[in-house]
Homo-oligomer: A and B are copies of this chain.
Amino acid sequence: MHTLGEVAEFLQAELRGDSNYVITGIAPLEKAGEDQISFFGKVEGFVQTSRQYLTATKASAVILTVKDAEDYFGNAILVEDPYVSYAKLTSLFNNAPKIKPGIHATAVIGKNVSIGEGTIIEAGCVVSDGVKIGDNCHLYPNVTTYHNVQIGNRAIIHSGAVIGADGFGMANDKGKWCKIYQLASVQIGDDVEIGANTCIDRGALEDTIIEDGVKLDNQIQIAHHVKIGAHTVIAGCTGIAGSTTIGKHCMIGGAVNINGHINITDQVIITGASTIERSITEPGIYSSALEVQPHQKWLRTKVLLLQLANIVKRLRKLEEQQNE
C-alpha cells in the first residue's frame, strides 16, 4: 500500500490530485477498482488503447501524459511514457517474498566459483566449477550452470534454465558419430534475464555470447557460438542454431526458427513463428508464418501450392498463344 504522493515521488513525476490517497495495487483501466492505480497511453502488449476505457475507469488514479490528462479529471500522475512508468511502478508493488542474498543450503556450488555481493542462489541450483556470477543476480530454484560459465551483474535466471551444456557437435566417422567436445564457454553480460527452461549451450572453440540487457523468455534454445547483441529481446520457444550472430536492439517473436551460421543485423523485428534461413542485412520487420484456415480449405490450398509450377506453365502457354 502506498499513497499517491509516494507513487509520484517514486516515479519522479508530477501528481495532480490527492497525495494522501492510498493505493493497494495496479490494474488495467477496465478492471481497476477504487483502491487501484492504472495507466493510459502507450500500452504495448495491451489491447486497450481507446479513450473510452479512461473515461469509464473506476481506478482512483491514472498514470498518463500531460496531453491525455487534459480532459481527465481524476487523480493523475503525469509522465512522459505511461507504459515505462507503469513498468517502473511494478517494482514498488512487487509482492514476491524477499529472499536474503546468499546460497540456499540445498544448492550445490563447485570449486573455484565466484559469486558477487547481493546475489541469490535458490534451492536446487547447481553451479559447477569455475563459474563466475556477478553482483545482485537471482538464480531461481533448479537452475544449472555448467563449468566456467560467466554471468554479469543483475542477471535474473529462472527455474530449469541450463547454461553451458555442450553444444551439439559431432563428426560422422564412417556412419558413427564422434563427439566434438565443447571446449569454449558461455559469457553473459549485465542486466540479462533468462526464462524458465531456456538453454544456452557452450561453444566448441569460441564462446557463446549474450550481451548486456538481453531478455530471453522461456524455453528458448540458443546453440553453441551464437552471439546475441545488447538489448535484444526474444520471446518463448524460439531456437537459434549454431554460430549465428544477432544484432543489437532486435525483437524476435515466439517460436521463431533461426538457421545457423547467419548474421541478423541490428534493429530487426521478426514476427512469431517465422523461419530465418539466410542473413538479414537491413533493419525492418520480417515474417513468414502462415495462419490457420478451416481445415478443408487449407488442405485444398496446400495441394494447389504444390501445383504452382504447373500454374505458371499454363499461364506462359496462354501468354504465348495470345502473342502469336
Known contacts A106-B108, A128-B141, A276-B291: A181-B91 contact under CB 8 Å: yes
**Digit string of A111-149 for contact with B (CB within 8 Å is 1, else 0)?**
100000000001110101110000000001110101110
Whether, in the assembled complex, A231 has its beta carbon less than 8 Å from a beta carbon of chain B, the answer is: yes
Whether, in the assembled complex, A272 has its beta carbon less than 8 Å from a beta carbon of chain B, the answer is: yes
Residues of B within 8 A of A289 (CB): 257, 275, 277, 290
Decide if A290 touches B288 in the complex (CB within 8 Å).
yes
Counting chain A residues whose Cβ lies within 8 A of the other chain, the interface size class is 35 or more
| Closest chain B residue, CB of each to CB of A112 | B97
Interface residues, chain A, CB within 8 Å of chain B? 25-28, 31, 44-47, 81, 83-84, 86-88, 90-91, 93-97, 104, 106, 108, 110-111, 122-124, 126, 128-130, 140-142, 144, 146-148, 156, 158-160, 162, 165-166, 168-173, 175-183, 191, 193, 195-197, 199, 201, 204-206, 213, 215, 217-219, 221, 223, 231, 233, 235-237, 239, 241-243, 249, 254-255, 257, 259-261, 269-278, 280, 284-302, 304-309, 311-312, 314-315, 318-319, 321-322
